[in-house]
A and B are shown apart, each in its own frame.
Chain A
Amino acid sequence: MSRAAQRDIQPRSGLAGLRERLGDEGFAFGLRIILILGIGVFLSASTQGQSFLSTANILNVLRQASLIFLLASGLTLVILAGGFDLSVASNLTLSACLAAGVMKATGSPLLGAAVALGCSTFAGLCNGMAVTLLRLPPFLATYGTLWILQGLAFHYMGGNEIFGFPPAFRLLGTGFVLGIPVPVYLMALVLALGTVVTRHLNIGQEIYAIGANPVAARLSGIPVRRRQLAVYTASGLMAGVAALVYLARVNSADSGIGEPLLLPAIAAILIGGTSLFGGVGSVLGTVAGSVILALVINGMNLLNVKSTWQPLVVGVVLLVAVLADLLSRGRRERIG
């Protein structure tokens, strides 16, 4: 056996070896856990452990992370497959506004939910068709959809807000089951589903393959366009789910609710270790990214960090998270 082949078979030492043993995703996730724990330790020390480490606060942070995660979960699949969906936030806005209007008019949470999910999934489907049938570049196609959905929301709301939803519906955002907030269960459910799909079903492997190398994927007989359609539709669906959780938490809708959520959703995905180019990453990573984002704000509020410093702190934490990932990745790429 040649020296080179032997080198490939022996497990490597050090950081690169650890990465091999855990697998890319395991390593990336481990890195983020360390980051989360690091922030956690710092915050516990600073707040004397009382407020930060309490069960109530941890559940609080998880609940806050869940909204961004739900919005970003479908988008993660799209990015894994090498695409992009800029319209998720506007999709959330329009779905939420329509659901709000329907719930106000009919008093029925079920009808509102149906409208939200139906419209958001349909928008996702349209994105998918624009990318697969019209062959538009994903960035441009979804940027166009962003404006269309936002414009429809403006038109529908007319500068007004809709507020006050049925208490049964609000349980989705404010309710607790066995002491754990309902949105956290949703996050766990979507995480489980997402992980099963991406790791244990063929469709998941195909999505990664399409993201890593679309030509090879196509030549291997993977129905690339059908899978792309599926991920864009999933992204739309999850935007609708996030819209419902938003309405249940905040109890109000206006045409500006989605826009501030787009960048945090993308950031959560990237911090979680998913590559913008596709083929690398995980839904679990997006959970970690969402939690890190929520943790930072939680920490700043608990420590009463002055508002002048807050953007700086957020920026530094994000850079550290991305840098840590790049550093660990870089060493591997340089070997072999």
Chain B
Amino acid sequence: MRTWNTLRLAGIVAAVVAPVLIGAQPAHAANERLAAFYKNQVDPHFGLVRGGVEAVVKQMGAGAVTHYAPTRPNNLAEQLSQIEDVSVKRPDAILFMAVDPRGVVPAIEKVNAAGIPVLNYNDRVAGGKYTTYVGADDFKLGLDTGRYALRAIGGEGLVVIIEGVKGSTTSDQRVAGFNKAIEEFPKIKLLASQPGNFQRLPALQVMENLMQAHPRIDMVLAAADAMALGAVEALEAAGRKTAKVVGINGVPEAIAAIKAGRLLATGEFDGYKIGCVAATAALRGLRGQPVPATIILQGTVIDRSNLGPWDVPMDKRVCPKWEEVAR
């Protein structure tokens, strides 16, 4: 009789304690909500970033991610209202990149005050508090791509630079890198440095105008692939076969152009990797795992010899391993 009572007591205790023990497991899947910001919906670079973010959200079993991108490309007013939206909806963490590195600062500071953790990815914002920065080193990208390009023409010749948008840190840093590379080759002459607004048509027209002023151009250093491709179109239409062009980004169209021999090379600013690593960092932060304050992704210069890993459709891409990038 006493044994049976003990057993029943044990059974009741077990029945009460067990669910508590099970329920007390650390909350993994299904309830972390992320918000990810992009600069626009048109540049394929951000499509890659988004792809990386979603891949990680699935792999790490997080709940959901909401994507915010202005419908008018790079529109500050829209991004500001999206930031307001997000401070009301209160996701668990925000992955943020700014269309204007200074203009968003007050809005981000409000989000900081609301206590939502924000991670800055893609390129630096000029203010606000972030748990981590995940990005590339634009200066180094410009420097490496520039060096590659100048070496490819034997360290001497006539060069033009096509900048992005003046005041954008991405553009300014990459152009600074180009200029530093040019300094290293005394036989290189910089003919002109003109803005292409990160868009194809303006860059094409700038190239057409520069060709009028300079009958011989050996190398075009463009701060982004879209502009590099615009320059390529202009050069081809004018029949200037000797001029070579490099860009920065590594978007699919650039890879195709490198394969076809129309573009010499592009500096890797891999949106997919940035998305992967940023989303991983955000989720690790939420799960109490260690995350460094800054993660700079090294970029290689992609040319015909090594473009394999980038010549892959998005659904086949692979995220880099955390241990490799977070040192």
In the assembled complex, the Cα of A279 lies from the Cα of B18 at a distance in Å of 84
B73–A259 CB distance below 8 A: yes
Interface of A is mostly: helix
Q: Is the CB of B204 within 8 A of A302?
A: no
User: In the complex, which residue of chain A has the Cβ closest to the Cβ of B199?
Assistant: A260
Contacts of A163 in B (CB 8 A): 229, 253, 256
Contact indicator A301/B201 (Cβ below 8 Å): no
B73 neighbours in A (Cβ, 8 Å) = 256, 259
CB proximity of B317 to chain A, nearest CB, Å: 15
Best-buried of B46, B209, B256 by chain A (most CB within 10 Å): B209
List chain A residues, Cβ under 8 A from B202: 260
Interface residues as binary, B159-201 with A (CB distance below 8 Å gives 1, 0 otherwise): 0000100100000000000000000000000011111010111
The CA of A60 and the CA of B199, in the complex, are separated in Å by 19
Q: Which of B44, B50, B191, B197 has the most CB of A within 10 A?
A: B44
Q: Is A213 an interface residue (CB 8 A)?
A: no
Residues of B with C-beta under 8 A to A307: 163, 166, 193-195
Selected from A147, A160, A249, A256, the residue in CB contact (under 8 A) with B40 is A256
Chain B at the A interface: mostly helix, strand, loop or mixed? helix
Tell me which of B194, B199, B233 contacts A301 (CB under 8 A).
Answer: B194
Contacting residues, chain A, for B237 (C-beta < 8 A): 173-174, 249
Query: Would you call A161 and B204 a contact (CB within 8 A)?
Result: no
Give B258 Cβ to nearest chain A Cβ, in Å.
Answer: 14
A57-B201 Cα distance, complex, nearest whole Å: 17
Q: Mark A278-304, 1 if CB is under 8 A from B, else 0.
A: 000000000000000010011011101
Distance in angstroms from B15 CB to nearest chain A CB is 53
Q: How far is the CA of A274 from the CA of B40 in the complex (A)?
A: 34
* Assembly CA distance A70 to B152 (angstroms): 41
> 3 shortest A-B CB distances, which residue pairs?
A256-B42, A301-B209, A307-B195
Q: What would be 12 A-B contacts, judged by CB atoms less than 8 Å apart? A: A154-B41, A154-B71, A161-B44, A250-B233, A251-B233, A252-B253, A254-B44, A256-B40, A256-B41, A304-B191, A307-B166, A307-B193
13 additional contacts, CB 8 Å, given A161-B44, A252-B200, A260-B197? A52-B212, A60-B208, A159-B47, A246-B201, A249-B233, A252-B229, A256-B42, A257-B200, A259-B72, A294-B205, A298-B209, A302-B213, A304-B192
